[in-house]
Amino acid sequence: MAHTRYTLAGQSALVTGGSRSIGRAVALGLARCGARVAINYHSAADAARTAVAEIESRGGRALAVQADVSDPGAVAAMLDQVEASLGPVDILVNNAGVLKRTPFLEIPIDEWDRILHTNLRGYFIVGQAVARRMVQHGIRGSIVNVASSSSRYASLSLSHYAASKGGATMLTRSMAYELAEHGIRVNEVNPGLIETDMNRRDLADPAWRQMRLERIPLRRIGVPDDIVGAVLFLASTDAGLMTGASVAIDGGMTIS
């Protein structure tokens, strides 16, 4: 990714699901702008440690922290660890998510719960816990939720995923409204089709890939680095008057 002009020196950031794909790219971008970065992971410990090592090799400070974002106790323990090592969180990027393609009539309740617990309950639990500590410490912080273009339009076999992301969009707006009095800004980015670990197998199918490309005006599938610039902007003082906003990063998919 090209060098950016945003300066986040002296700030601490937490990226949930930060060990791989979009989360990893965002964590590295925050570190390049001078932030101390905590990289949350659920099970990808090696990937998280590799990301930390990459940040530290460039002179930055980073920490890998394990937690299930849908577990309030685990999240509280994670934040204690982050504060002890890097200081109170100034920037939160809620990114941890899971995806499973299953036709609506075949979705089992445990699969529905797993998607909603991570993608929506997790954003609420981490967002609330971090916001409470921001208020406690008098931090006028920034929260960026990674939603999806699926929050705006329906797709086959993604009812639970779309519901979770649509919920994340309304959670973003509600958080922004209520936290504004504390000077805490809450915005979201809505990635379109980005090649990640979750969809790489689908994209390997030429017919599926072409079908998706035809729905994107720019005719390009994104990569994780395409999301980073918008997150850095929303986290920075350049976006100081923005809260409750949704930024589409989808090659024009949601306008076609």
Confirm whether 100 is a catalytic residue: no
Per-residue model confidence (pLDDT) at position 6 = 84
The CATH number of the domain holding residue 232 is: 3.40.50.720
Domain that holds residue 178: 12-245
Residue 54 lies in a domain: yes
Residues 6+ apart with CB under 8 A from 191: 22, 146, 148, 149, 222, 226, 227, 249, 250
Give the whole-angstrom CA distance, residue 232 versus residue 45. Answer: 25
Residue of 6, 12, 161, 236 marked catalytic? 161
Tokens 């920037």 appear where?
A: 91
Give the whole-angstrom CA distance, residue 180 versus residue 222. Answer: 32
Residue 197, Ramachandran bin (φ over 0: left; ψ between -120 and 50: alpha; else beta): alpha
The count of domains in the chain is 1
Residue 95 lies in a domain: yes
For residue 110, the SS3 value is helix
* Mean pLDDT computed over 61-86: 98
* Mean pLDDT computed over 156-180: 97
Residue 1 lies in a domain: no
* Mean pLDDT computed over 35-42: 98
Residue of 19, 148, 151, 236 marked catalytic? 148
pLDDT digits (tens, 9 = 90+) for 89-114: 999 999 999 999 999 999 999 999 99
DSSP 118: I
Residue of 21, 70, 123, 165 marked catalytic? 165
Confirm whether 153 is a catalytic residue: no
Give the whole-angstrom CA distance, residue 220 versus residue 240. Answer: 31
Per-residue model confidence (pLDDT) at position 29 = 97
Confirm whether 236 is a catalytic residue: no
Residue 7 lies in a domain: no
Residue 234 lies in a domain: yes
Residue 57 lies in a domain: yes
Q: What is the pTM of this model?
A: 0.95
pLDDT digits (tens, 9 = 90+) for 234-244: 999 999 999 99
* Cβ(173)–Cβ(243) below 8 Å: no
**CA distance to 22, 38, 63, 224, 245, per residue, from 29 (Å):** 10, 13, 15, 11, 21
Per-residue model confidence (pLDDT) at position 4 = 58
Give the whole-angstrom CA distance, residue 149 versus residue 191. Answer: 6
Residue 6 lies in a domain: no
Residue 251 lies in a domain: no
